[in-house]
Amino acid sequence: MVSSAPRIVLATRNAHKVVELREILTDALGRTGLELVGLDAFEGLEDVVESGVTFADNALLKARYAAAATGLPALADDSGLAVDVLGGAPGVFSARWSGPLADVTSTSRDEANNALLLAQLADVPDEHRGAGFVCAAALVLPGAAPGSTGQEVVREGSCRGRVAREPRGSNGFGYDPLLVRPDGRTLAEHSAEEKNAISHRGQAFRSLGEDIVGLLGQA
């Protein structure tokens, strides 16, 4: 059965992220009556090259494309790990920090990224291993003319900790097994509910949820 509810599109093909964002935005979606769908709900859409130099740049690139292509309000995010002693790197390059290393070593991209980061920080003492996840979440409304965009809002969230000396935990992905929170556990050692409550993505999208309600409450 096809839903007749008005839709808002999340600029991703990752089904797990769509489910996660439905949970984070439960309140906003309930208050507006909007149904959150991913890019796979539409045919012929292309992947957007994340060529921005900031998280906000990349989030807006994806949300603008989705809004213009579908004529619907669109959401997108970009996030990564910023390590203090590396001047904020890997930053926007977090997902591809290891370059071709994963292909050379036949390991997963996450494993290669984590291994390279740990090697770069091998001689850094614990007190100087501060780091944090950063997320920029964007909402872009469609414009009056077909293929155009209108109002834009960006909200950010962060989740601070320090980089562990080895990966721990299996409840996360990316650098989650490396970021140790103040309670001594890595993000990957938190449950999904705990992570959503404190994570950079949870913070950014819960804040953006108020904008969704304010701008689309009559949808």
- Which residues carry a binding-site annotation for Mg(2+)? 78
Catalytically annotated residue among 40, 78, 103, 211: 78
Query: Is the peptide bond between 142 and the residue preceding it cis, with omega within 30 degrees of 0?
Result: no
84 a catalytic residue = no
Q: Which residues are annotated as a binding site?
A: 12-17, 78-79, 173-176, 195, 200-201
**Which residues have C-beta within 8 Å of that of residue 37, sequence separation ≥ 6?**
7, 8, 9, 10, 18
Q: What's the CA gap between 99 and 143, in Å, rounded? A: 37
Q: What's the CA gap between 119 and 77, in Å, rounded? A: 28
Q: What SS3 class is residue 150? A: strand
| Residues annotated catalytic, as ranges | 78
